[in-house]
Structure 1
Amino acid sequence: MVDYSEFEALAPFLRLVEESLAGLVDGDRYFDLFAEDILMEFIYAPPGTPPSIRGRQTMIDAWRGYGDIISLDRMSNEKIYRTTDPDVLILEYESHGKGVVTGRPYHQKYLSIVTIKDRQVVYWRDYSNPLVVSETIGGPDQMAHAMFSPQENES
């Protein structure tokens, strides 16, 4: 069971995905929507961060560190595009918030290609600008450390 209070900094994004995929996948909460062996690719991964992660637990562990670097206030301009493949859809959206340490504004545009099999997300391909993240949080090392380093206090 996931304690969603750990992911408050991501809450607007989690809700956007939950609402966008409602009726297409099983599960009510964000992490429940994904297959155990989900593959997430970050096409423009910032330096020091992996270009992909595999597995729901790996994703949960990475997202735990998000709140150390960025806090989201809201999402906007959500669009869902259907493709000729009924198992693939495209999500376009923007996030707005601020850098936790720097206080700098965060405004990011995303395009995510989502593949669904057996009513679970099995593949997520993310297109976003790593320079926006870097400028908001004060450099790429902070993201690598917060989200993709072994945590001393993992549960």
Structure 2
Amino acid sequence: MNDDERRAANRALLERVVSLIGTGRHAELAGLYADDYVLELPYSDPPKRLEGRREIAEYLGPKLGTFVFTLALTEVHDCVDPDLLVAEYTSDGHVSTTGKPYRNTYIALWRFRDGKVCGVKEFSNPQVAAEALDPD
């Protein structure tokens, strides 16, 4: 597979992952990630670096019950490295405990290996999440 074909395959995988988030199809979604997947959230409070599907699932599980949302890609930027994409996307949903809307914007570096997502470094506005979680 040449670089252009790898980029196209990785872009298709990114689109599939984003379309599955928020659908409840957790097993299907988990199968798209490498076992040693790394998730970095530098703007979370405190910043996080999570390694492996199990650690990531333990961290995200409770959050996905609180933040109920879907994602929509707005831009995908190719990189020189065919296994790296820069993605911009938005969330649309609500916080289950407050009923407040949750709409955030994200930019992330998505890394791929052997047809799976192996890393995501995601930046979002933590203030949007804090306001949605605030019961007042």
Instruction: Specify if TM > 0.5.
Output: yes
* Percent of matched pairs sharing the same residue: 26
CA distance in 2, matches of 1:19, 1:76: 7
Which letter maps to 2:37?
I
Q: Distance in 1 between matches of 2:56 and 2:90?
A: 20
* Pair 1:60-2:57 in alignment: yes
Gaps (5+ residues) in structure 2?
A: 1-13, 20-26
**Paired position in structure 2 for 1:36:** 35
1:134 aligns to what?
Answer: 130
CA distance in 1, matches of 2:48, 2:41: 5
RMSD of aligned C-alpha atoms? 2.3
Q: What's the TM-score once normalised by structure 2's chain length?
A: 0.73
TM-score, length-normalised on structure 1?
Answer: 0.65
CA distance in 2, matches of 1:34, 1:97: 24
Question: How many equivalent pairs are there?
Answer: 115
SS in structure 1 of the partner of residue 71 of structure 2: strand
Instruction: Using the TM superposition, give the Cα deviation of residue 19 of structure 1 relative to its aligned residue in structure 2, in angstroms.
Output: 5.8
Give the match for residue 100 of structure 1.
96
Q: For the residues of structure 2 that align with 1:59 and 1:123, how far apart are their CA atoms?
A: 11
For residues 131 and 52 of structure 1, the distance between their equivalents in structure 2, rounded to whole angstroms, comes to 20
Uncovered stretches (5+) of structure 1, i.e. residues with no partner: 1-14, 21-27, 140-155
Structure 1 residue 78: Cα displacement:
2.6
After the TM superposition, list the runs of 4 or more consecutive aligned residues in structure 1 that deviate by more than 4 angstroms: none
